[in-house]
Structure 1
């Protein structure tokens, strides 16, 4: 008996093609949607693939890699800058804003000016106390020079002690200012070569770089208050 009266024979699906189609999310032979494959970005539960984003992507600016890190350094006034200068006495990690640094430069400059004025006043007082009348029995032309020299030596000693006291924090805050511009603190050594101090001043006056914290906010960080 012929098979034509029963119609054409059904086409048997390829047993290897059907699982592949279902694995790729294509409809099967009965119109049913296949399950997502193992490499599909969409999970069987309709959730986004948790591995779609790289965990090694750089964190946005403002993230907190550690206590006190990641935030922009505060813009401070004169008094607070001096306070932070001494609180972060020997902290070479982290960053320092322009206001933190340049208010301290002004503070140290004023201290030096005060010492200079005080030395001049002491020298003037020493000269004024010396008799200028050549007929005065206490007149001594060399006493004025001795009085001025003694006053200056005393003031140089005080100024030297002060300079030693602020040496470490001055270097530390300069290094942190370099860090805030996304530069290594070793740039500070440029001040040791002729003309390098001008380059250092220019670099220290540059604006903050937002991404600098990713390199320099490590270890013990400077306090902000």
Structure 2
């Protein structure tokens, strides 16, 4: 134990880490990859949400640059044609680059799908709601807003249920 550890409560992965920093939140996000039982603090959730937002913005920017260069160099783009356009043809290296960026984007999204769903599930538990409330987000227009509000609600320990607790106790 070092002097910097004095007074800092040690919490295992089975407990939420209130006041987590970005590095701690991301580390716990991957360590609790597919744990739907337990709780996640607001800081654990929002730091990961911010990191994912930045990651997807960077990937989207790269995709946009590659796509724009592909559109600019496409021989079949006729901007003055008022009729139906044939679109663009992806040829050579540009087509490979566009496909590679698309596959990286897909791989990242698939790799983060389960841990993100598990984190949202645990965050809902910590706010006092059952995990399946996640599916409220699929209601058109109001669902995502409602889910965002539920995820922002502070911890309500009086609403925690034993069935939601993480049995691993690590």
Bucket of the pairwise TM-score, normalised by the shorter protein: 0.7 to 0.9
Q: What TM-score comes out, normalization by structure 2 length?
A: 0.72
Shift in Å at residue 211 of structure 1?
A: 2.5
More helix by share: 2
2:151 alignment counterpart? 204
Structure 1 residue corresponding to 2:53, chosen from 99, 106, 109: 109
- After superposition, residues 55-204 of structure 1 pair within 5 angstroms as 73-123=17-67, 141-142=75-76, 145-146=89-90, 150-194=96-140, 195-204=142-151
User: Aligned partners of 1:209, 1:190: CA distance in 2, in Å?
Assistant: 20
1:217 alignment counterpart? 165
The alignment yields a C-alpha RMSD, in angstroms, of 2.7
Question: Gaps (5+ residues) in structure 2?
Answer: 1-11, 78-87
2:63·2:98 contact (CA, 8 Å) conserved in 1? Answer: yes
Residues 1:150 and 1:212: Cα distance change in structure 2 (over 3 Å): same
User: Aligned partners of 1:96, 1:171: CA distance in 2, in Å?
Assistant: 12
Higher relative contact order (CA 8 A, sep 6+): 2
Q: What TM-score comes out, normalization by structure 1 length?
A: 0.56
User: Aligned partners of 1:88, 1:72: CA distance in 2, in Å?
Assistant: 11
1:98·1:177 contact (CA, 8 Å) conserved in 2? Answer: yes
Provide Cα deviations, 1:27-70, integer angstroms capped at 9, x if missing partner. xxxxxxxxxxxxxxxxxxxxxxxxxxxxxxxxxxxxxxxx876x
The structure with more radius of gyration? 1
User: Aligned partners of 1:87, 1:72: CA distance in 2, in Å?
Assistant: 13
User: Aligned partners of 1:155, 1:68: CA distance in 2, in Å?
Assistant: 34
Provide Cα deviations, 1:148-207, integer angstroms capped at 9, x if missing partner. 655433322111111110111000000000010111001001112212111001000000
- How many residues are paired up? 145
Shift in Å at residue 212 of structure 1?
A: 4.1
Residues 1:125 and 1:178: Cα distance change in structure 2 (over 3 Å): same
